[in-house]
Chains A and B, each alone.
Chain A
Amino acid sequence: MSLQKPLMRGLLAKRLRFHVPIAFALSMLAAVGWKYGVTEPRKKAYAEFYKHYDATKEFTSMREAGVFESVRPTGK
């Protein structure tokens, strides 16, 4: 009936040695995933939008639709 003496010390260190690399790897994965899944497509979307953006044309169509309060649609 003689049991092995249980581990008395270094319990936190043991847990950290196991879990911290995993936590680091998952965090890096999350960061890289976010960068290439979200921010890069977003930057591309904005670049595409403004490549052929005609501000005057957009303004005129918005004005004709009647959404502005400072300028009425032309002809009123």
Chain B
Amino acid sequence: MLRLTAGRVGSLVARRAAVALTTSSARMASHGHEVSEAVDMSKPMYWDRREIPLPDKRYKDILTPADKSLKEKEKGPWGQLSNEEKLALYRLSFCQTYPEMNQSSSEWKTVVAGVLYCIGLTGLVIIWQTAYVSPPAPRTFDAEWQAKQVKRMLDMRVSPIEGFAAQWDYEKGQWK
């Protein structure tokens, strides 16, 4: 989208100014400090991903004369390429090998630490809330009410086979 607007402006202004505008469009968007070029996502891109073994384009776009001569040599029989040349050709086409791509990092430790830290902070907030924000508990939470509730549940024989009232000894009047 940035390129489009810069292109429209470029058609009104001189060619040289248009080029300057396209290169600085990213800078304009980022308030004047230096950032990298905005990537054109409409063109084929290179990705180091496990599920893309052959990305849409080669890794290195700009080839030095040495690279270009190597590419010319690649057009001939490959047996004539030395191992270093084969590796150089590989690195022209790809940035990372699969083992390099798949190597694990210690990022998970930071993530776990961050998560636990946030949970801890939340815990402190909740403690403060229960002290200063929440209203008093309803009367059903009183010990007396709870005792009456348990007695009524036992009288009603709640889950008498495997559950609540099954744990009460009705003859002795105590928990089993």
Using a CB–CB distance below 8 Å, which chain A residues touch chain B?
1, 42, 45-46, 49, 58, 61-62, 65-67
Contact = CB atoms under 8 A, between A and B. Distances in A.
Given A45-B161, A45-B162, A67 B83 contact: no
18 contacts: A1-B83, A1-B86, A45-B161, A45-B162, A46-B161, A49-B160, A49-B161, A58-B157, A61-B170, A62-B155, A62-B156, A62-B157, A65-B155, A65-B156, A66-B155, A67-B152, A67-B155, A67-B156
Contacts of B162: 42, 45
A49 B157 CA distance: 13
Interface on chain A toward B: helix, strand, loop, or mixed SS? helix
Q: Is the interface of B mostly helix, strand, loop or mixed?
A: loop
Contacts of A67: 152, 155-156
Interface string B70-102: 000000000000010010000000000000000
Contacts of B170: 61
Contacts of B86: 1
A42 B152 CA distance: 25
